């Protein structure tokens, strides 16, 4: 299978669906002529024109409100927020309007829109452009939340998100944009359904539950433990935070008897606490040979200094130490 970048996979997903369905439009700051802040929409303006790939004013509230209205009246809008931090400026329309519409009107309408946003640290963009806001939006009934970790999942999940009748917040970790991975050829109409986790590495001695940029980092540590210490670690990629595939997580922990949850966002109030609670409230609790453990980021704003920035999120060394504590 060919290998392409995460960014190219996202572009392919949008372009392939836009060619098939004229209801799909893309809105955002610099998504048109410039091709997107991270180059994801490069070439789309030339193919689809300014009617379907629209450069917008610098107002996240306006962009998101426009998408909510467009979705309610029959279009399938994709919004690109330049940095996920600026979801804060779009919250009123996203939460009070988009997320509530189907409930308010008894399912008579729907809001099939996708809000894409680059998230996370690692690019030296400092405290206002490097946050991981998934826990903010996971708390809102009516929103779905997706964080793919591979080009394959990015393309397949985005295709599913476009046609979902609910607003989907689709977070893309910035350091993953240039990573490469296998993706089916264009024309092979594949999707990755929302609500299904993926076991990225099978194992028998411990389960690591993670998502986004932490997936490749945990996989690397798992391979090192297998090669150096004979410890067989299963790595489960959550992929869709809402809806959450509880069954896959629970069954994995019942098999291995140990669980470590790893996530980039600050540990306090992070989504990792929800994942630990899911396991504690399930029958997996009775299979545990060690306490449930979570490893999140430090409870500080993201520093600009690259050495400090690297230490704010779970490093390979911190993940290894957490594994050792459970063994």
Residue with tokens 């194992």: 203
Task: Give the residues across from 297 on adjacent strands.
Answer: 266
Q: Which of 52, 116, 129, 254 is catalytic?
A: 129
DSSP 286: G
Full DSSP string of 184-222: PPTT------TT--EEEE--SSEEEEE-TTHHHHHHHHH
Full DSSP string of 11-55: HHHHHHHHHH-TTEEEEETT-SSS--TTSTTTTHHHHH-TTTEEE
Q: 271-280 and 246-256 helices cross at what angle (nearest 10)?
A: 60
Active site residue 152: no
Of 164, 165, 172, 145, nearest to 28 (Cα)? 172
Of 100, 26, 90, nearest to 62 (Cα)? 90
Catalytic residues: 129
């Amino acid at each position: 299978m060919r290998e392409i970048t995460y960014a190219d996979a996202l572009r392919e997903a949008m372009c392939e669906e836009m060619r098939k369905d004229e209801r799909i439009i893309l809105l955002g700051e610099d998504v048109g002529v410039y091709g997107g802040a991270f180059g994801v929409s490069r070439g789309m303006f030339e193919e689809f024109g300014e009617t379907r790939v629209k450069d917008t004013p610098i107002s996240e509230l306006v962009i998101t409100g426009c998408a909510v209205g467009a979705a309610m009246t029959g279009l399938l809008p994709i919004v690109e927020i330049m940095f996920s931090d600026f979801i804060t400026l779009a919250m009123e329309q996203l939460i009070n309007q988009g997320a509530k519409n189907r409930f308010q009107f008894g399912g008579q309408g729907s809001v099939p829109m996708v809000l894409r946003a680059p998230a996370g640290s690692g690019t030296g963009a400092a405290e206002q452009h490097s946050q991981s806001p998934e826990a903010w939006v996971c708390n809102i009934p009516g929103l779905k939340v997706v964080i793919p970790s591979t080009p394959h999942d990015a393309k397949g999940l985005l295709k599913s998100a476009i046609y979902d009748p609910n607003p989907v917040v689709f977070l893309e970790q910035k350091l993953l944009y240039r990573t490469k991975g296998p993706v089916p050829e264009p024309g092979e109409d594949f999707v990755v359904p929302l609500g299904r986790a993926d076991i990225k590495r099978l194992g028998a001695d411990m389960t690591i539950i993670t998502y986004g940029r932490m997936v490749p980092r945990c996989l690397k540590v798992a391979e090192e433990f297998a090669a150096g210490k004979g410890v067989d670690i299963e790595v489960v990629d959550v992929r869709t935070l809402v809806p959450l595939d509880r069954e896959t997580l629970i069954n994995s922990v019942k098999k291995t008897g140990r669980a470590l949850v790893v996530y980039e966002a600050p540990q306090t109030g992070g989504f990792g606490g929800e994942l630990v609670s899911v396991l504690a409230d399930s029958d997996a609790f009775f299979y545990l040979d060690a306490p449930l453990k979570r490893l999140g980021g430090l409870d500080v704003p993201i520093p600009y200094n690259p050495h400090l920035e690297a230490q704010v999120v779970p490093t390979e060394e911190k993940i290894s130490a957490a594994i050792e504590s459970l063994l």
